[in-house]
């Protein structure tokens, strides 16, 4: 397992996190933190976007897709707990890493409390007496009233803290069970709603309404007319809250089995699932009920949709209520997992006091961070009302996502030797001053989208401006005090440089006989993966006879053409390749190449000639490499 290089050598013996999360557990972690948002955001977005609610979700989803893909690449290359702060440290410096981590810390803490309250809210369907019930506690002579919803939410978080202390496997199992139930129920609602309640005329009528026409006192409008467009832009910022949480998969990278395969798979599944339900339910709802009725049902929009399904809607209501309870419970649990891993990672890398980096030797979980920040979430849940923190939820996440997308582009240029088992597709190669830059187009779009929506949050959300910048200022002050106390520079890069990838790209020289070109690319692809950077070399041997210059040049061109074809085919499989054709002594060329520090491995392809008993050529190269660099030799068979 990879472990970060600590600030002091004595910390190398620290207990590591345990890899217990499967591919479905990883998917459930990403989906749980995002999928629960639709149970509230569906009505909230409709209240401001009106008929354009699906479009608001689509615009906000750009940040989700781009950032999710960026996380998939970065988390497989650098599989550390912490996510955004790890990538920002690696790409820039320690302060950038702290800022990225600090932004998601509050999001996870608020997530824990928000969805604990939402969980209790769904329980009121079965226990309606909880609504309006208040308990009064006497503490040090002070009478403190606590509503029943807040008290139960507090207890729920305490139970989840205990579950997470026991182990990540147990917490992950809870996620998987509840997420599976949620996907089944939402799929049923979409299918039945489309078949039994969808009215195309109603949909066409409502989809033309862009933004609610009324003004709202809590929105900071830029101009005093045309409230519809401004309400729509405000709705886009609210829709963004439906897509916060994709980083949860990366937060648990150190506890994920086979992260190089698991994380990309889980991330792509989570992106597709959330998009289908967020955009799909939003669009279908426009053909089932009016946007105003949906917007008026902010607390239970899914229940309102179900009731509009003729005949069976009432029957489904208890199931929907339980499903809402289940997925919100999982989302609260994911908040505890996320914040504990972020703080653990920040402490592990010297961004916060080292006390938080302690891992329990029995449970292999960061117990201290779970208890401390889980308790903060429990206290927030005790209030029972957390509407005022919604703006701050978006403020921090968007800045963190912005830094992730920027970090990906920077690391593509500065850390090219890192092997990436999966890469964000559709890269654009740009040449500036004779230097080639690789720019992933989705990440470039993600930077623009995250930055634009964050600016909308700052413009339209007065509480977001106040709380967001206050939280940022407090964090910077804490960082400055801590770094001065431990004697580390504020903008240091040494710890960031210590972040090692899962594996590096390795340079391999592939020795290919000029007459043996068939199926070479297929053989190499089936024998090695793209962590090898390949140099294809053929040698026009002059050991046994002298070749005229014109003949040697003709052989060189023919061999070069064959290697170019092989190289082109390998490139289509994702390999980095180049070709070399040498004319001279086979022994001299192979010996010099095998002993060169530039190549980590020498690959010899044993072809059909060997199978027929014609050992000369291929075996000569194997013998030569074995004699001078046996540790570098790799033999692959066709």
SS3 track for 553-584: HHHHHHHHHHHHHHHHHHHHCCCCEEEEEEEE
pLDDT given for residue 155 in this prediction? 92
> Mean pLDDT, to the nearest integer, of 210-220?
90
> Mean pLDDT, to the nearest integer, of 184-206?
91
CATH of the domain at 376: 1.20.1740.10
Q: Tell me, yes or no, whether 3 lies in a domain.
A: no
Confidence bin at 92 (pLDDT 50/70/90): very high
C-alpha distances out from residue 449 to 10, 276, 323, Å: 43, 20, 32
Confidence bin at 201 (pLDDT 50/70/90): very high
Query: Does 423 share its domain with 522?
Result: no
Confidence bin at 168 (pLDDT 50/70/90): low
Answer whether residue 3 shows pLDDT above 70. Answer: no
**Do the beta carbons of residue 326 and residue 336 sit within 8 Å?**
no
Q: Tell me, yes or no, whether 480 lies in a domain.
A: yes
**Positive/negative CA dihedral, 73, 74, 79, 81:** negative
Q: 3-state class of 142 per DSSP?
A: strand
pLDDT given for residue 241 in this prediction? 76
Answer whether residue 55 shows pLDDT above 70. Answer: yes
Answer whether residue 619 shows pLDDT above 80. Answer: no
Answer whether residue 597 shows pLDDT above 90. Answer: no
pLDDT given for residue 218 in this prediction? 83
> Mean pLDDT, to the nearest integer, of 267-286?
88
**Do the beta carbons of residue 70 and residue 404 sit within 8 Å?**
yes
Query: Does 261 share its domain with 407?
Result: yes
Query: Does 616 share its domain with 473?
Result: no
Last residue of a domain, one of 466, 492, 518: 492
Q: Tell me, yes or no, whether 573 lies in a domain.
A: yes
Query: Does 169 share its domain with 274?
Result: yes
Higher pLDDT, 8 or 97: 97
Read off the DSSP letter of residue 428. Answer: E
d(CA 229, CA 391): 19
Which range has the top average pLDDT, 68-72, 172-176, 249-253, 616-620? 68-72
Query: Does 444 share its domain with 358?
Result: yes
Query: Does 208 share its domain with 72?
Result: yes
pLDDT given for residue 358 in this prediction? 81
d(CA 558, CA 327): 63
Higher pLDDT, 609 or 261: 261
Q: Tell me, yes or no, whether 4 lies in a domain.
A: no
Q: Tell me, yes or no, whether 485 lies in a domain.
A: yes
Q: What is the pLDDT of residues 534-576, one digit of tens each?
A: 999 988 887 766 667 777 788 888 888 989 999 999 988 888 8
C-alpha distances out from residue 264 to 35, 98, 261, 419, 427, Å: 18, 25, 6, 14, 17
Query: Does 221 share its domain with 74?
Result: yes
Higher pLDDT, 364 or 99: 99
d(CA 329, CA 252): 19
Higher pLDDT, 211 or 133: 211
Query: Does 450 share its domain with 569?
Result: no
Query: Does 466 share its domain with 552?
Result: no
Higher pLDDT, 126 or 407: 407
Last residue of a domain, one of 464, 492, 520: 492
Q: What is the pLDDT of residues 326-342, one digit of tens each?
A: 888 888 887 888 888 88
Answer whether residue 615 shows pLDDT above 50. Answer: no
Answer whether residue 6 shows pLDDT above 50. Answer: no
**Share of residues in the chain with pLDDT > 70 (%):** 88
Answer whether residue 167 shows pLDDT above 90. Answer: no
Q: Of 151-155, 297-301, 415-419, 528-532, which gets the smallest average pLDDT?
A: 297-301
Q: Tell me, yes or no, whether 501 lies in a domain.
A: no
CATH of the domain at 594: 3.40.50.620
Answer whether residue 377 shows pLDDT above 80. Answer: yes
Q: Which two tokens stand for residue 234?
A: 């405000």
Q: Of 234-248, 385-399, 427-441, 509-523, which gets the smallest average pLDDT?
A: 385-399
d(CA 394, CA 424): 24
Q: In which region does residue 434 sit, left (phi positive, over 0), alpha (psi from -120 to 50) or beta (all else)?
A: left
Query: Does 428 share its domain with 527?
Result: no
pLDDT given for residue 545 in this prediction? 65
**Share of residues in the chain with pLDDT > 90 (%):** 28
pLDDT given for residue 105 in this prediction? 85
Answer whether residue 13 shows pLDDT above 50. Answer: no
pLDDT given for residue 391 in this prediction? 59
Please return the burial class of 414, using the count of CB atoms within 10 Å of its CB with bins 0-12, 13-18 and 19+.
exposed
Query: Over the chain, what is the mean pLDDT?
Result: 83
pLDDT given for residue 401 in this prediction? 92
Q: Of 250-259, 446-455, 504-513, which gets the smallest average pLDDT?
A: 250-259
Answer whether residue 16 shows pLDDT above 60. Answer: no
Q: What is the pLDDT of residues 396-439, one digit of tens each?
A: 889 999 999 999 999 999 998 888 888 999 999 888 888 889 99
> Mean pLDDT, to the nearest integer, of 579-587?
88
Query: Does 90 share its domain with 42?
Result: yes
> Mean pLDDT, to the nearest integer, of 77-106?
88
d(CA 508, CA 510): 6
Count structural domains, the chain: 2
Buried b (16+ CB within 10 A) or exposed e, 375-405: ebbbebbbbbebeebbbbbbbbbbbbbbbbb
Q: Tell me, yes or no, whether 498 lies in a domain.
A: no
- Closest to 249 measured CA to CA, from 179, 354, 162, 319: 179
Query: Does 474 share its domain with 529?
Result: no
> Domain residues for 28?
9-492
Q: Of 42-51, 187-196, 268-277, which gets the smallest average pLDDT?
A: 268-277
**Do the beta carbons of residue 620 and residue 501 sit within 8 Å?**
no
d(CA 245, CA 339): 11
pLDDT given for residue 4 in this prediction? 41
pTM of the full structure: 0.79
Q: Tell me, yes or no, whether 499 lies in a domain.
A: no
Higher pLDDT, 13 or 369: 369
Answer whether residue 96 shows pLDDT above 70. Answer: yes
Last residue of a domain, one of 428, 462, 492: 492
Answer whether residue 200 shows pLDDT above 60. Answer: yes
Q: What are the backbone angles phi and psi of residue 583, rounded to the nearest 5°?
A: -115, 125
d(CA 479, CA 208): 49
Answer whether residue 208 shows pLDDT above 90. Answer: yes
Percent helix, strand, coil in the chain, to 5, is: 65, 10, 25
């Amino acid at each position: 397992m990879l472990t970060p290089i600590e600030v002091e050598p004595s910390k190398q013996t620290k207990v590591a996190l345990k890899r217990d999360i499967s591919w479905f557990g990883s998917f459930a972690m990403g989906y749980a933190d995002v999928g629960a948002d639709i149970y509230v955001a569906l009505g909230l977005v409709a209240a401001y976007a009106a008929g354009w609610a699906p479009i608001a979700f689509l615009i906000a989803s750009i940040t989700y897709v781009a950032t999710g893909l960026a996380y998939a690449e970065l988390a497989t290359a650098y599989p550390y707990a912490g996510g955004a702060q790890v990538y920002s440290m690696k790409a820039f410096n320690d302060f950038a890493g702290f800022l990225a981590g600090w932004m998601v810390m509050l999001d996870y803490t608020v997530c824990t409390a928000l969805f604990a309250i939402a969980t209790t809210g769904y329980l009121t369907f079965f226990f309606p007496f909880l609504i309006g019930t208040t308990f009064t506690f006497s503490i040090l002579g002070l009478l403190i009233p606590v509503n029943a919803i807040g008290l139960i939410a507090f207890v729920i978080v305490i139970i989840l803290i205990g579950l997470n202390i026991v182990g990540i496997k147990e917490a992950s199992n809870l996620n998987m069970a509840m997420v599976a139930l949620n996907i089944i129920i939402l799929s049923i609602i979409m299918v039945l709603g489309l078949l039994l309640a969808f009215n195309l005329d109603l949909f066409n009528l409502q989809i033309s309404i862009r933004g609610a026409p009324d003004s709202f006192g809590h929105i900071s409008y830029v101009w005093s007319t045309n409230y519809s467009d401004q309400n729509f832009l405000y709705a886009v910022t609210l829709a963004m809250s439906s897509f916060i949480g994709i980083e949860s998969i990366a937060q648990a990278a150190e506890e994920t089995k086979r992260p190089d395969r698991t994380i990309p798979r889980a991330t792509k599944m989570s992106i597709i699932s959330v998009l289908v339900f967020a955009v799909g339910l939003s669009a279908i709802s426009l053909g089932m009920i009016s946007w105003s009725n949906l917007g008026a049902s902010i607390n239970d929009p899914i229940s309102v949709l179900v009731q509009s399904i003729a005949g069976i809607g009432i029957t489904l209501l208890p199931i929907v209520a339980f499903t809402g309870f289940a997925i919100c419970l999982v989302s609260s649990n994911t908040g505890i997992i996320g914040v504990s891993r972020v703080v653990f990672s920040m402490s592990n890398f010297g961004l916060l006091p080292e006390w938080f980096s302690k891992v329990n030797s029995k449970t292999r979980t960061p117990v201290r961070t779970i208890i401390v920040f889980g308790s903060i979430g429990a206290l927030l849940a005790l209030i029972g009302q957390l509407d005022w923190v919604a703006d701050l939820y978006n403020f921090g996440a968007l800045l963190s996502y912005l830094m992730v997308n920027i970090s990906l582009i920077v690391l593509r240029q500065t850390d090219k030797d890192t092997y990436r088992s999966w890469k964000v597709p559709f890269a654009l190669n740009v040449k500036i001053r004779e230097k080639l830059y690789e720019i992933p187009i989705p990440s470039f779009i993600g930077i623009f989208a995250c930055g634009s929506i964050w600016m909308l949050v700052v413009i339209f959300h007065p509480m977001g401006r106040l709380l967001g910048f206050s939280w940022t200022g407090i964090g910077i002050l804490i960082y400055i005090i801590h770094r001065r106390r431990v004697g580390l520079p504020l903008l240091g890069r040494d710890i960031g440089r210590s972040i090692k990838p899962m594996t590096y790209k390795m340079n391999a020289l592939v020795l290919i006989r000029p007459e043996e070109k068939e199926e070479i690319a297929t053989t190499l692809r089936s024998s090695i993966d793209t962590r090898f950077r390949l140099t294809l070399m053929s040698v026009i041997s002059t050991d046994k006879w002298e070749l005229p210059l014109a003949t040697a040049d003709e052989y060189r061109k023919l061999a070069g053409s064959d290697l170019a074809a092989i190289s082109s085919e390998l490139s289509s499989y994702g390999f980095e390749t180049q070709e070399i054709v040498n004319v001279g002594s086979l022994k001299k060329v192979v010996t010099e190449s095998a002993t060169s520090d530039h190549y980590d491995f020498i690959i010899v392809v044993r072809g059909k000639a060997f199978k027929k008993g014609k050992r000369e050529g291929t075996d000569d190269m194997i013998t030569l490499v074995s004699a001078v660099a046996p540790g570098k030799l790799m033999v692959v068979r066709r």
